[in-house]
Amino acid sequence: MQTVQPRSLPLRLPRVRPGGVLPILVILAVLLVLVGIRQPDFLAPPSLMSFLGRSAPIILLAAGQYFVIVSGEFDLSVGSLVTAQVVVAARLIDSDPARTWPVVLLLLAFGALVGLVNGLITTRLRVPSFITTLGMFLILVGAVYLWSDGAPKGGLSEEFRRFGRRAFEDVPLLGRVPYALLVLVVLAVAAVLLMRSDFGRTLVAVGDNPRTAELSGVRVWRTRTFAFILSGLAAAVAAILLGGYSGVSFQAGAGLEFGAITAVVLGGVALGGGRGAVVGAMLGALTLELLFALMNFYGVSGALRSTVQGGIILLAVAVSATRSSSR
């Protein structure tokens, strides 16, 4: 009798929105299955917790990079900023536990300041952010090198290192929950809330079409500068966690900017701005780390990592370009 069946909602295929997080979730799930087949132990709580803890810095950097990229800019300075922060922290703390908290505050302020300078040069002096942050990258590398005579001095206190190294022990079900993971969860929630606020919408609007945003009363330069500050702050937190995880090193932040950009692109965020979710960027970072772990489990040489990373950037940008042109 009934000839036409009413189309019910669940039957409709979920449309893949450009910039959505569905693709990255699928990739992540596939990788998890592959890891589960090859190395089931890895998915057991203790090793999973330790994996998430050590991935926290790159995930935070990806979130920081997301703010900048979604607003239509780039931040290439984060890797060298992390290195600078770790080296500065070691020298200032000089193994004295009492200096831990003041130095943590100083690092956050330093990160915000570098972001502010990046932002102001980009927006007020109209230097393309690619060049601004590349310049900042070189300035920081050189300054750290000069200041430390090429070899890090001093040492990090155990109090400083615990953020990146220690964990809540004997948590029911999970076992060991690294402090770094908690820091990550708190900041990830904050980032999501921020993107849902007016500021978040403005940020995306600025990246999508700065002219329109300007005409509708948004102060584009202020929004973008704030995005750079957020990226600097993310680098500061990442530096605190990374320094804690592994101690002082001149290599602490090497290559992290490319890791963060790869993660953001992998997470479906459009280079050039205006599309993508912060959750996608963070999942992108997690996926990238999981991919590297998987490569290790399959015995693929670590030397291939940067090649894989480069391939992902090219592929992800190409896919996103095709999608956006057919929109």
Q: How far, in Å, CA of 58 to CA of 241, rounded?
A: 10
| CB 278, min distance to other proteins, A | 24
Q: How far is the CB of 16 from other proteins (least distance, A)?
A: 33
Least spacing, CB of residue 156 vs other proteins, in Å: 10
DSSP 197: S
Q: Where are the alpha helices (DSSP H) in 124-197?
A: 129-148, 158-165, 179-196
* Residue 18 or 135 having the CB closest to other proteins: 135
CB of 159 to other proteins, least distance (A): 16
Closer residue to other proteins in complex, CB, 47/324: 47
CB 262 within 8 A of CB 288: yes
How far is it, in rounded angstroms, from Cα 241 to Cα 119? 24
* Choice between 207 and 253, CB closer to other proteins: 253
For 173, 204, 205, 224, 259, the CA distances from 72, given in Å and listed in that order, are: 42, 9, 10, 8, 18
**Shortest distance in whole angstroms from residue 184 CB to other proteins:** 16
User: Which single residue is written with the structure tokens 């449309």?
Assistant: 15
Q: How far is the CB of 310 from other proteins (least distance, A)?
A: 13
Looking at the Cβ atoms of 149 and 198, the one nearer to other proteins is: 149
The residue (of 17 and 162) whose beta carbon lies closer to other proteins is 162
**Please, which residue, 134 or 317, has the CB nearer to other proteins?**
134
How many other C-beta atoms can be found within 10 angstroms of the C-beta atom of residue 95? 12
Structural element, H or E, at residue 119 = helix 100-123
Contact call for residues 124 and 222 (beta carbons, < 8 A): no
Q: What is the DSSP letter of 99?
A: G
- Rounded-to-integer distance, Cα 249 and Cα 239, Å: 11
Nearest CB to other proteins, comparing residues 95 and 216: 95
Dist CA 242 CA 58 (whole Å) = 9
Taking the chain, what is the end-to-end CA distance rounded to the nearest angstrom? 40
Compute the least distance from the CB of residue 51 to other proteins, in Å.
Answer: 8
Shortest Å, Cβ 111 to other proteins: 18
* Residue number, 152 or 267, with CB nearest to other proteins: 152
CB of 23 to other proteins, least distance (A): 26
Question: How many angstroms from the chain centroid is the CA of residue 263?
Answer: 7
Cβ proximity to other proteins, 249 vs 324, nearer residue = 249
The contact set with other proteins (CB under 8 A) reads: 39, 41-42, 46-47, 50, 54, 79-80, 95, 137, 141, 145, 149-155, 165, 242, 245-252, 254-255, 293, 296-297, 302-303
> Exposed (0-12), middle (13-18) or buried (19+): which is 165, by Cβ within 10 Å?
buried
Q: What angle do CA 74, 258, 52 make, to 5 degrees?
A: 115
